[in-house]
Amino acid sequence: MPPQPDMYSNIAIFGDNVAARNHPDWISQSPLGPAWRTNNNFNVRWEVLCATQPEHREEQLDYIEDVARNSQGVWLNSIHFAEHGHCICPRCKDLWKKSGLGWLEWRSKEITDYMAQVSERVRDRAKKKFVIGVLPDPVTNYDRFGVDFDALAPLTDEFLVVMFSKNYATPWYWETLTRNFKKLFREVPLNISLYVFGPGDDPREVPTTNELLTVSVRMARAGVDNLLYLSEKASQIADFQKAALAQVELRDRLRSYGGKPVQEYLDFVQGWDKIVQ
């Protein structure tokens, strides 16, 4: 989709079904097989390319800079190695040996060095906002994906943690993850994405309004700086906003869940009455 001048753009770098179809030899390799989405040894939901593939890297750099220039900024996803054990293609093995580094250290250096190049394109050249997205694993992101939060922090304006789920019935876990990331990211703002309605979803199998409001309040009190709500269409967000406004009793009860951040979030929700009828 073309970038929109009044919106931020979301780009997935190494999770790329089209590039994988066109260049099957670019797929990430591991002792448990390649990162095709059909490989159930891993939680890959799309085809994941080798994170050192030079042509893909170069093409993405130019694409990201172009998108940054034509929109408000770039929010990245899929910046990392596919999973633990990836990638053992001949190029990666060669690069690792030449680096003289340990295996995990080499992987994370590859990701950090590439993110430095992307950051330079977006922040320094295009002069736009840059946000790095990571998966919701505060402890083993480094071992699984080569993601080193401390090394990436100076390269990004903010972090985004994608916490998509088709229900948020147990908010304790989401609140805990929020506290974990807030502690790890320190001064870098923490954004979290929540799932409202995905492409082709059955309306009976998406999170309830009650769950979304409750988990949002509990993330607010745990220190999240911004929440993003995913939907396929704008009308689904409007439906969620209307439903949230209708939950007067629940919103009153949630007022007792915490101090200023909770009140600010609930005031924000109240403000939706000005944009949806």
**Could you tell me the CA-to-CA distances from 236 to 197, 201, 276 in Å, in that order?**
7, 11, 12
Decide: 29 and 88 in contact? Cβ < 8 Å: yes
Q: How far is the CB of 34 from Zn ion (least distance, A)?
A: 10
Q: How far is the CB of 47 from Zn ion (least distance, A)?
A: 14
Nearest-CA neighbor of 168 among 205, 228, 208? 208
Judged by beta carbon, residue 54 or residue 259, the one nearer Zn ion is 54
Q: Tokens for 20?
A: 């994988």
Does 87 contact Zn ion by CB under 5 A? yes
**Ramachandran angles phi, psi of 107, nearest 5°:** -60, -45
Q: How many residues of this chain interact with Zn ion, rule: CB under 5 A?
A: 4
Select the span of 17-25, 82-90, 130-138, 178-186 touching Zn ion (CB under 5 A).
82-90
Q: Which of 89, 213, 219, 254 binds Zn ion (CB under 5 A)?
A: 89
- List, as one string, the DSSP characters of 144-202: HH---HHHHGGG-SEEEEE---S----HHHHHHHHHHHHHHHTTS-EEEEEEEE-TT--
Q: Hey, is 110 helix, strand or coil?
A: helix
Select the span of 54-62, 81-89, 137-145, 269-277 touching Zn ion (CB under 5 A).
81-89
Name the amino acid, one letter, at 57: R
Q: How far is the CB of 29 from Zn ion (least distance, A)?
A: 6
Q: Hey, is 107 helix, strand or coil?
A: helix
Judged by beta carbon, residue 11 or residue 92, the one nearer Zn ion is 92
Does 50 contact Zn ion by CB under 5 A? yes
Select the span of 86-94, 133-141, 153-161, 168-176 touching Zn ion (CB under 5 A).
86-94
Q: How far is the CB of 122 from Zn ion (least distance, A)?
A: 25
Q: How far is the CB of 19 from Zn ion (least distance, A)?
A: 14
d(CA 207, CA 169): 8
Judged by beta carbon, residue 89 or residue 155, the one nearer Zn ion is 89
Burial of 128 from C-beta contacts in 10 A (0-12 / 13-18 / 19+)? buried
Judged by beta carbon, residue 53 or residue 231, the one nearer Zn ion is 53
Judged by beta carbon, residue 34 or residue 136, the one nearer Zn ion is 34
Q: Which of 13, 92, 161, 269 binds Zn ion (CB under 5 A)?
A: 92
Q: How far is the CB of 135 from Zn ion (least distance, A)?
A: 19
Tell me how far the alpha carbon of residue 239 is from its chain's centroid.
24
Judged by beta carbon, residue 57 or residue 182, the one nearer Zn ion is 57
Summarize as ranges the residues that interact with Zn ion (CB under 5 A).
Answer: 50, 87, 89, 92
